[in-house]
Each structure stands twice: as structure tokens, then as C-alpha cells.
Amino acid sequence: MKITVFNGSPAGKESATSVIATAFLSGAAEAGAQTNHIFLCEKNVQHCKGCFTCWFKNPGICVMQDAMQDLMHAYNTSDVVCFATPVYTWNYTAYLKNFVDRLAPLKSLVIAQQNAHFDLIDTKPKTQKFMVIANCGFPGTHNFDVMQASFACCNPFLEIYRNCGKLLKSKQPDIKQQVDTWLAAVRRAGFETVKDGDVSEAVRKALEMPLMEVQDYVQYLGMGQSAQY
């Protein structure tokens, strides 16, 4: 099984997103997967020009020659594609959005309707399974709502959403211990994805573990807290 993480954090290898994705991939590798962690901020991927050449004039072929050809190959040949990102202004980052936009050449000119949603279907049916890894700076449970709605179109089998992301790289022993316990569940999720093709309810539950109480976290950040916006 080949698993590729497309990491959209501008902080690349130093990112909190990378801490989570690396744990997931290490569990997957332990179970025998071939793993690939791609940092989009290191790649030359230009913005989609919106010329529609890849749909109407030269189907499937983008007019731009950049890193996207290799990235598209990694995307197409993976069994599991993981979109990994921090929350930036409620959603996924511009690096990841740019990458997803540049997947446009994979679309056909056939519109499909599912319930009230319309989209173009792919020229070749997708063979990959999709998953999401994300972290955010705030505490609370609604930071990922917009992102979750955005990713719903790829029907992810697993979504790992970590709030209080500033704790992920903490060196404070008590915090590190809590983070390591959570990362062990992430590793286990990677292992089960490869071994069982899915993640057990027990591990999914463990992934929801809180890292810190809201007030303690606000204090940890050295920020104030107001009752309203």
C-alpha cells in the first residue's frame, strides 16, 4: 500500500502538521506501507490560470510545466491520499488549495449530481482512499467546521482534527507526555489503516482526547480571554 501525505503547512518540516503526519506515517510504515510525505511549500506549483485548456482544448494536460506533473503522479499512484494542513482563517492553507485546484486536469466534462450537489466527474474513476490531518491554534470544537465541509467532497475515511496545536511541539514534560499519548493513537491509526483498511472505533475515540483545558491553554499561550468577539 502506498500512502502519500500532501502537507500544506507553510512551516513545512517544522510544522505541527508534520508532527501528526509523521506519527501516522510511522505507524503505516510499521505495518508495511510505502510512505511519502510531500511538503508543498518546497515545491514550485504555480496558480491555476483558469484558462480551461485542460478541459476543452487539450483534455487532461495543463499548460504549465512545473512540479505539478510529479505531484499528480504521486497523487494518482497512491492508495491513500492524505491532505494535511493547519487551519488558516477557518480553512485549509493556500498551499493546499493551490494544489487541489491544479488537480483540475483530472476532471471530465461530465457533470454529476449527488443530492443537491453538482460536480464534474473524474476522467478515470478514483482508486485512492482519502483522509485528512489538520491542526489549529485555538481550543474548542468548531475550528474545523469549514474545512470539514470543504473536504466532504472526497468522502474521507478518516479525519484527524487536533485543536490546541501549539502544544504539539512543547518540551514541557507534563504536556509532552499528554501529546505523546495522543500521538501513539495517531500512529496506531496509521498501522490499522494499512493492516485492516480502516481505523477501529477504539482508536477513533482515542484521537478525540483533549490535550488541555481551555483556560489553561489560553494561559499557556500567554493570551487573554474575552467573553465575546
Ligand X SMILES: Cc1cc2nc3c(=O)[nH]c(=O)nc-3n(C[C@H](O)[C@H](O)[C@H](O)COP(=O)(O)O)c2cc1C
Determine which residue in the list 5, 6, 9, 96 makes contact with ligand X, applying CB under 6 A.
9
Kindly state whether residue 39 participates in binding ligand X, applying the rule CB under 6 A. no
Contacts 24+ apart (CB under 8 A), 141-147: 143/87, 143/90, 144/87, 145/90, 146/90, 146/91, 147/85, 147/87, 147/90, 147/91, 147/92
Query: Cβ closer to ligand X: 137 or 156?
Result: 137
97 C-beta neighbours (distance < 10 Å), count = 17
**Minimum separation from the CB atom of position 8 to ligand X (A):** 9
Q: Looking only at residues 164 through 183 of this chain, which bind ligand X when binding is defined by CB under 6 A?
A: 165-166
Instruction: Give the three cell numbers for residue 110.
Output: 461530465
Stretch that binds ligand X, among 113-121, 135-143, 193-201, 207-215 (CB under 6 A): 135-143
Kindly state whether residue 90 participates in binding ligand X, applying the rule CB under 6 A. yes
Kindly state whether residue 4 participates in binding ligand X, applying the rule CB under 6 A. no
Kindly state whether residue 105 participates in binding ligand X, applying the rule CB under 6 A. no
Taking Cα atoms as reference points, which of 142, 143, 186, 135 lies closest to residue 165? 135
Query: Cβ closer to ligand X: 42 or 196?
Result: 42
**Helix then strand then coil, % of the chain, to nearest 5:** 45, 20, 35
Beta strands in 80-210 (DSSP E): 80-86, 107-114, 117-122, 129-135, 158-162
3-class state of residue 159 by DSSP: strand
Q: Looking only at residues 142 through 161 of this chain, which bind ligand X when binding is defined by CB under 6 A?
A: 143
Determine which residue in the list 11, 29, 45, 67 makes contact with ligand X, applying CB under 6 A.
11
Query: Cβ closer to ligand X: 16 or 48?
Result: 16
Kindly state whether residue 136 participates in binding ligand X, applying the rule CB under 6 A. yes
Query: Cβ closer to ligand X: 122 or 213?
Result: 213
Give residue for cell 471530465.
Answer: 108
Stretch that binds ligand X, among 84-92, 105-113, 115-123, 172-180 (CB under 6 A): 84-92
**Minimum separation from the CB atom of position 88 to ligand X (A):** 4
Q: How many residues bind ligand X (CB under 6 A)?
A: 17
Q: How far apart are CA 165 and CA 128, in angstroms?
A: 28
Please give the residue ranges that form the binding site for ligand X (CB under 6 A): 9, 11, 15-17, 86-90, 135-138, 143, 165-166
